[in-house]
A = this chain, B = another copy of it.
Amino acid sequence: MNIGEASSATGVSAKMIRYYESIGLIRAPLRTESNYRVYSSDEVHTLRFVKRARTLGFSVEETATLLGLWQDKERASAEVKAIATGHIGALETKIVELQSMVKTLKHLAHCCGGDERPNCPILDDLAGEAIKTKGH
């Protein structure tokens, strides 16, 4: 299996497979005589693991740790769970931040006529002028 096949088998671009190899996230595969990378099913399995972890929002560094734990048959699940739990916390913090932005923006958009006139509460807010809600 060459890099293109490994790519379509895992959803990881060839570019990224080479990158993951260059930073040491995955091991360098064997090469053909003509210097093409050759992937075994084991390596494809590893790439799928990486893809899934990245999809779940783990950083490459976290993914490296998880990969290490996965390959260590003796590891305690507590360690894995701690990483996952920490990651859940980080994601939730991010969600709260985004929700707060959305809330503010929705309020502003609601107060904005969105018409041909220049008056615009959104810009007024950005400029630091408090919005007058007029109790609507």
Contacts and interface: CB of A to CB of B under 8 A. Distances in A.
B117 A77 contact: yes
A48 interface: yes
- Ordered nearest first, which 9 A-B pairs have the shortest CB separation? A81-B114, A77-B120, A76-B116, A57-B101, A70-B123, A81-B112, A78-B114, A52-B126, A84-B109
A129 to B, nearest CB: 10
A76 B126 contact: no
One complex includes copies of this chain to the number of: 2
A120 B88 CA distance: 17
Interface of A: 45, 48-49, 52-53, 55-57, 66, 69-70, 73-78, 80-82, 84-85, 87-88, 91-92, 94-95, 98-99, 101-102, 104-106, 108-109, 112-120, 122-123, 125-128
A76 B115 contact: yes
From A53, A69, A88, A119, name the one whose CB has the most chain B CB atoms within 10 angstroms. A88
Given A52-B125, A88-B109, A99-B95, A120 B45 contact: no
B98 A94 contact: yes
Contacts of A118: 73-77
A128 B52 contact: yes
Contacts of A57: 98, 101
B127 A49 contact: yes
